[in-house]
Amino acid sequence: MFRLRVNKSRFAVAASATRNATTTTTHGNHYQYLQTSKLPTLYFQRSLPRLPIPLLEKTCERFLAAVQPILSAEEYGHTQQVVEQFRQGIGMELHAKLKQRDEANKHTSYISQPWFDMYLADRVPLPLNYNPLVTLKNETRPEYQQQVVRATNMIISSLRFWRSLQANKLEPEVYHMNPKKSDTDNYRRWMSVAPKAFATYASYAFKAFPLDMSQYSRLFGTSRIPRIGKDELVLSPDSKHILVMRRGNMYTMNVLDSSGYIESPSVILGRLKSLISLDNQKAPASVPLGVLTSEQRDEWANSRAHFVSSSKNAELLQRQVDSALFCLCLDGEEDGVYNEENPSPLLKELLAGKATNRWFDKAISLIVSTDGTTSINFEHSWGDGVAVLRYLNEIYRDTTKQPYVSTSTPHTPADGDTNNVRFLDFEFDDKTRAAVDTAYAKNASIMANLDMNVLRYPKLNKGTCKRHGLSPDSIMQLSFQLAYRQAFQRYVGTYESCSTSAFKHGRTETMRPCTMATKAFCEAVLQPSQKQPSAGELRAMIDKCSSVHGQLTKDAAMGQGFDRHLFALKHTAQLEGLPLPSLYETEAYKRINYNIISTSTLGADTVIAGSFGPVVKDGLGLGYSIMNDMAGAIVTTYKDQARGKEFIDSLEAAFDTICAVIERSSSAKAASAVRN
């Protein structure tokens, strides 16, 4: 929920933005580092507060408040009884044990390891279920939008980001309540003299809130390795190469020299061009190994174990693929291009698609379509959106403000340079070929069953919200509740993620947007017009929804939600070998955690789209944003399980209804003011 800040003043805007090998001092700080912060990157890390464990009583109260709108009166009464028994009995014991374990592990948060375990132990395939998609805005200048050019600039900016992070030169991640007052040189001067043990608290005096950056070290050089029962993360932070995939063929390309410096722009451009030339001489991969990363995790673990029984395959997979800094996927014309009027075909392909040109196990996969459209598909176990969006914002602005190559940039030829551009010539036997065919068929079946619907609604935007004093996120979430209620006549478990990165090793907390306030508004506005409350009364109900939503958001961001606490108490019971408390068997607990509406917002102005799969078979995967010119939503559903088009149509009607209420209320208020 924190806004991600990028200090634009750090980027030099030149009329001739392109740098080439003849004008760039490649070993100089200006090229090697994206930022040279006055404060070390991890300056605040030591002094970050620890994620609090909420009071058991408060967690019980919050749980009851969240489940009330999705339960009948009888179900809610039964749930109250079970929760009270839990609070006075086994819940107290588990809470005490959780507190004790937290006290013994002050270097981290109570949720960090259980959350890692949850991700890594889940056996479902990564695409759709975990790996989300984020698509960046296109470059408006044609000379920088060409696929190989944009890919080269993205590689260079990614490496500049990574080198800055490794050298402790990347600006610390800080949420500024009032950037004009705190995002200043004066603030940094004061912070630089603050004792590191108290630096975070000194920053609070400026209403500037440092965020946890422990996840950033896993952005690059990280792979999720499939194992039976539970995967593992392997980190290779000193790697000097990237993985490149094209038409299912796999290559590695050196991008850092032997001393760890970023190679010159002309060298990186030349190597990428030589790789493409080499690939053009080959047929598309007859055995696209990457498809196996779309498999159920135990199936992939078994296939991988067999595959690496060949010493050559083991060497290539472990030393070249697993250890690569990140994966670059160069897609072809057959994979689609971005169409603003109908983006769904390309977005589906980028989200999971055929999976022949993907390695879903990599922490970061940069996907560059043949038209230059650039997206990121990322593995989710290692970290959350704060780190990924910071990285995306930085590289987008770096590539647009000071791109290092263009279509006219000369390149250093690298044809035949097998030391720096390597084709991964794996050995395939019949068992691996069959496994790839099976994985391809499974993924194709899943994707054929995936629907994606897109809505752009220009009448609701940031300006509308500001003009009428509305909370943008609250209005969006209220619209989702109204849309679902009027389309399907019920209220369901709804999920909105909120970052807890204001705390050391914080991850996320769940915010539950379906409340008694949103339910009251929906029921009121759906009455026949003659029975509806007045526009002023409906507006007051909208304000009440916003107030409740705002408090829930604040609670979640401050580690005072209930979902993670109950998750940790359940995990504690499992660790202690205790029976599962009856609370976790209630219809209320099951229903609130069956997230039919799963939402995620993209609040970055560098992004044009974001998407993810439904988290339950009959659910909605709802990516949304509210921008200067419109509100937008991308909804994924499984065919014959949920009716995505019906929801999108209902959402447009919900926007119409809410905007009409706001306008009528505003007009009535203005008329009253004139009369008085």
Here the contacts of 487-490 (C-beta below 8 Å, separation 24 or greater) are 487/643, 487/646, 487/647, 487/649, 487/650, 488/643, 488/647
Q: Which two tokens stand for residue 166?
A: 């490794």
From 225, 387, 240, 414, select the one nearest 322 (Cα to Cα). 225
Crossing angle of the two packed helices 265-280 and 147-166, in degrees rounded to 10: 130
Is 505 an annotated catalytic residue? no
Range list of H helices, 284-364: 297-307, 311-316, 344-351
338 vs 31, 347, 351, 369, 476, CA distance in Å?
A: 31, 8, 13, 8, 26
C-alpha span between 150 and 269 (Å, rounded): 10
Query: Maximum distance among all alpha carbons in the chain?
Result: 87
CA angle 530, 534, 535 (to 5 degrees): 120
- Whether residue 64 contacts residue 77, with contact meaning beta carbons closer than 8 Å, is answered with no
DSSP-assigned letter for residue 321: I
At residue 155, what are phi and psi to the nearest 5 degrees? -60, -50
Q: How crowded is the C-beta side of 474, counted as CA atoms within 13 Å?
A: 23
C-alpha span between 541 and 523 (Å, rounded): 11
Q: Which amino acid is it at 110?
A: Y
DSSP-assigned letter for residue 144: H
C-alpha span between 430 and 648 (Å, rounded): 45
Question: Strand 620-626 vs strand 631-638: parallel, antiparallel, or unpaired?
Answer: antiparallel
C-alpha span between 437 and 126 (Å, rounded): 18
Give the list of residues 6+ apart from residue 641 with CB closer than 8 angstroms, or none: 614, 617, 618
Q: Which amino acid is it at 87?
A: R
Please name every residue paired with 242 in a beta bridge, in sequence order, or none if there are none.
Answer: 253
Q: Which amino acid is it at 528?
A: P
C-alpha span between 162 and 238 (Å, rounded): 11
Please name every residue paired with 455 in a beta bridge, in sequence order, or none if there are none.
Answer: 633
Catalytic residue selected from 30, 306, 380, 468: 380
The catalytic residues are 380
